[in-house]
């Protein structure tokens, strides 16, 4: 995070950190054999839109925004895979 980042970019970074933490907790629960809580785990479309529409004012903010978007998309990939695996696990038990 650039030292000159706007408050809004810092807020977006914090939102992404919260999103990542929720996903990590669900992954940990899944690895412990517990079911995925679908009311908690899901793609955060609002965060994606907020990152995409953020108006960067400096080159450092532009690069930071890009990195945040890349990272968010990696977290989204984990969410999709956890949901897919969870569906497979539920179907196998049926």
Q: Is residue 54 part of a domain?
A: yes
Q: Tell me the residue range of the domain where 85 lies.
A: 7-93
pTM for the model stands at 0.85
Which residues, 6+ apart, have CB-to-CB distance to 10 below 8 Å?
Answer: 1
Alpha-carbon distances of 3 from 21, 31, 65, rounded to whole Å? 23, 37, 14
- Quote the number of domains for the chain: 1
Q: Is residue 2 part of a domain?
A: no
Q: Is residue 56 part of a domain?
A: yes
Q: Is residue 72 part of a domain?
A: yes
Predicted pLDDT at 94: 60
Q: What is the per-residue pLDDT across 18-61, written as a single tens digit (0 to 9) for each?
A: 999 999 999 999 999 898 888 999 999 999 999 999 998 889 89
**DSSP letter assigned to residue 39:** T
Q: Residue 66 maps to which CATH number?
A: 1.20.58
């Amino acid at each position: 995070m650039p030292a000159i980042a706007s408050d809004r970019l810092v807020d977006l970074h914090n939102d992404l950190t919260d999103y990542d933490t929720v996903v990590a907790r669900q992954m940990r629960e899944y690895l412990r054999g517990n079911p995925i809580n679908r009311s908690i785990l899901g793609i955060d479309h609002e965060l994606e839109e907020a990152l995409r529409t953020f108006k960067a004012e400096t080159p450092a903010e532009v690069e930071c925004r890009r990195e945040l978007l890349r990272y968010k998309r990696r977290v989204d990939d984990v969410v999709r895979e956890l949901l897919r695996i969870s569906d497979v696990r539920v179907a196998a038990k049926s």
